[in-house]
Amino acid sequence: MHWRPLCLLVLGLFPSFAQTTSPHEQFDEELVVKSFQDGRVASTFTFKTLLTDASPRDPRTLALEDDEPQHYTLFPLTLGQLLRQYAITELHLTLNAGKWKYDSWGYPEAAGVGTGAELYAWLADGAPSSIDERWQGLRNALAGLFCASLGSLDEQRTTSPHLSFPPEGLLPDWDGLQHEIRHASHASEHVCTENLTPFLKLLPCKSLSGLASLLNPHRMFDADWHGIGLHVLWRPEGVEVRLNFQMVSDPLRPSGKKQDWSFRSLYDRSVDRACPVAKTSRTIVTLPDAVYSITPEPSAIESGKALYDLKNKSPNESFDMKLEWGSDFVYPQASLTSPLVPFTVQRKLHGPTQDRGQLALVLKNHEPHAIRVSYLETMPWLLQFYLHTIRIEVDGTRRDDLISNISYVLPVPHSRPATFHCILTLPGHSTVTYTIDVTKAFLMYTEHPPDAQRGWDLPPAVFVLLASSSEEGYTRSMGGVQEGSRVYTPSLLVDLATPDFSMPYNVIIFTCSVVAFIFGSIFNLLTRKFVVVRLDG
């Protein structure tokens, strides 16, 4: 029982310490909990560190000796070093597992929900090393930092889709230096505890106190959907680092009767101590429409949302909250007819053969009026498009006029992916089918991965809802949808022609025999001398 006075001492010291030694740094944390119509509960943890009055490094100074000291208290040092070394203006990294169901969950709090790893960064040119070299350094450094296979986001996966991934913050003006984007995604990357530990290390309070103490890997990685995100961007106030963790858990999974949840049931933890260095520490719970009871009493209720401030929590008691419904849960019968998003997308790869196929999209516009969406495919060269076979149909009639602004960067086999971007117009209350024929690549045998052969994961396509051209000033209020929100389709799995590597000896014996047979016959024919032989002689 000696630790308690010590702890109190530290707790007492911390606020003053934080305020005195880091006047340029500010740390805020927030947890948003929301129940969906299918009974699942989404928790979004956001940890924001702001380095005020700082700005990204000018890439031209990379040629000079870096003598600027990097003293941070709250801002993660490892990340700061990395950003300085490669002069990164803006950086977004997400590692997700699962499939985000826009139909029943609506848009996520943090937009990057593509399956697997996705990394994109905005960098300016002008450094002694090229953008691509710095991009390579960045992803290798991040791979080390996050224990993820980001090193595999190489030039075979790197594209520059600047239209679908505009900078979230501002790009500094360095005498007109051009900024460029580098984007790569790897759908088969899994996220697990080895990625969460380095994530927690970037937080000032680690997982010892504050909201981050709820991040219990046993529960996080059992959730239906979970993902971590790292976002670095520049605003006039300074450089902002935003770390977030999103998860969608299913309180109905064990019992199947009631959708009640509490911190204990969702995370198997409660908040014992507030993070002393956090300026704000809030929990926001979206309240349901039905009869419910919420404990403890929220500090404020604003437009259907209960707010809790953990900074006001008494230091002795742990904070746990509970939301209970008055009645048993019943699954909505018409889950598909009342979607939360203006349009839904289904993407499939058809064709059972190993050399050809067809990529098919089915887009459904739930709005009464036409909407425009931008459609981006960053396709590895494993799948190659035949653009002349694009076919767009609305309810069975061909409507090729619905596609516009096509831009296409050809893939280069064995080195570069294709980037296909276009704008699709979806007529009101309609189902648009889009098909394009594809050919599947034939790999060199060294390009086959050495592990189990389940096929190749193709990255998700990205859709962005654009401002409607027909109706000026149209904004959507439902579900907090903003124009410009990205929608990720699920990833795809493609089967390429693969030798049965599990039988290497048979394969070797067969091929060697064939080669030997052909060589032997031809060699024999070329070198043989034909003469008449008298048998009786």
Partner 1 sequence: MDRLRRIIRPGGDANLVRIRRRKAVVSAISQRIKLIRLLLPVLGCIWLLALPSPRLGRNIYIDENALQPGNVNTYWSWGDVHNSDRYLEDLERLRDSNATNEQRAQYLSTEFRKIGMFSSTQNYHFTGTSQDINGTNTYAVLSSPRAPGVEAIIISASWVSRINDGNGTLNLRGVATVLGLANFLKQYSLWAKDLIFVINDGYLDGMQAWLSAYHGSVQSNLEVERLEISSGVVWTALNIDYPGHSFSHLGVFYEGLNGRLPNQDLMNSFHVICSRMGIPVVLYDHLDPRTYPDRRNELDWLPEWMPSALRDDSEVRAYAYNARNIRRHLAHQASGRGSGVHGLFHQFRIDAFTVFALPATGPHGFHALGRVVESTLRTANNLLERLHASFFFYIMTAPNRFLKIGNFLPSAILISVGLMFGGLKGWVDSGWILEHPDSTVKSESDAPKWTRRSRPVIRTLCIMTATHLLGVAMYLLMSSRWYTESSIGLPFVLAIVSVFAFGVSAIRSKGNREGEAPLSSVLKALNQCFASTIISATTVLNFSLAVALAVSLDLPLSISAASNSLSLRALKFSPYLLLSLGWTLALERLSWNWEFLGVWLFPFLCIVYFPLVLQAGIVCLL
- Interface residues with partner 1 (CB under 8 A)? 38-39, 97-99, 101, 103, 115-116, 187, 221-226, 250, 252-254, 256, 330-333, 335-336, 346, 348, 350-352, 358, 360, 362, 433, 452-455, 457, 490-493, 495, 500, 502-503, 506, 533, 535
Q: Which is nearer to partner 1, 26 or 115 (CB)?
A: 115
The minimum distance between CB 496 and partner 1, in angstroms, equals 12
Q: Which is nearer to partner 1, 315 or 449 (CB)?
A: 449
The minimum distance between CB 524 and partner 1, in angstroms, equals 14
Q: Which of 44, 31, 42, 108 is nearest to 250 (CA)?
A: 42
The minimum distance between CB 51 and partner 1, in angstroms, equals 34
The minimum distance between CB 491 and partner 1, in angstroms, equals 5
Token pair recorded at residue 33: 């909990």
Q: Which is nearer to partner 1, 256 or 315 (CB)?
A: 256
Q: Which is nearer to partner 1, 444 or 535 (CB)?
A: 535
Q: Which is nearer to partner 1, 71 or 218 (CB)?
A: 218
CB 279 within 8 Å of CB 84: no
The minimum distance between CB 335 and partner 1, in angstroms, equals 7
**Angstrom distance (rounded) from CA 362 to CA 16:** 57
Q: Give the torsion sign (CA, 110, 113, 117, 122).
A: negative
Q: Give the torsion sign (CA, 525, 528, 534, 536).
A: negative
**Angstrom distance (rounded) from CA 407 to CA 293:** 53
Angle between helices 131-146 and 77-86 (to 10 degrees): 170
The minimum distance between CB 215 and partner 1, in angstroms, equals 16
Residue with the two structure tokens 């993820």: 148
The minimum distance between CB 194 and partner 1, in angstroms, equals 15
CB 56 within 8 Å of CB 83: yes
Bridge partners (DSSP) of residue 373 are 424, 465
Amino acid at 481: V
**Half-sphere exposure (CA, 13 Å, Cβ side) for 474?**
17
The minimum distance between CB 100 and partner 1, in angstroms, equals 10
Q: Which is nearer to partner 1, 25 or 250 (CB)?
A: 250
Q: Which of 342, 424, 362 is nearest to 103 (CA)?
A: 342
Q: Which is nearer to partner 1, 226 or 366 (CB)?
A: 226
Q: Which is nearer to partner 1, 187 or 418 (CB)?
A: 187
The minimum distance between CB 453 and partner 1, in angstroms, equals 5
Q: Which of 389, 387, 392 is nearest to 403 (CA)?
A: 392
The minimum distance between CB 188 and partner 1, in angstroms, equals 8
**Angstrom distance (rounded) from CA 376 to CA 487:** 10
Token pair recorded at residue 79: 């990340």
**Angstrom distance (rounded) from CA 251 to CA 266:** 7
**Alpha-carbon distance values, 74 to 98, 472, 493, 506, 529 (Å):** 31, 44, 42, 60, 86
Number of helices (H), then strands (E), belonging to the chain: the values are 8, 25
- Determine the distance from the C-alpha atom of residue 343 to the mean position of all C-alpha atoms in its chain, rounded to a whole number: 20
The minimum distance between CB 192 and partner 1, in angstroms, equals 10
Q: Which is nearer to partner 1, 291 or 452 (CB)?
A: 452
**Angstrom distance (rounded) from CA 266 to CA 103:** 23
Q: Which is nearer to partner 1, 40 or 182 (CB)?
A: 40
Token pair recorded at residue 459: 């990255």
The minimum distance between CB 383 and partner 1, in angstroms, equals 14
Q: Which is nearer to partner 1, 410 or 493 (CB)?
A: 493
Q: Which is nearer to partner 1, 110 or 233 (CB)?
A: 110
User: What b/e sequence results for 381-400 when a residue is b if at least 16 CB atoms lie within 10 Å of its CB, and e otherwise?
Assistant: bbbbbeeeebbbebeeeebe
What's the farthest any 2 CA atoms get from each other in the chain?
Answer: 118
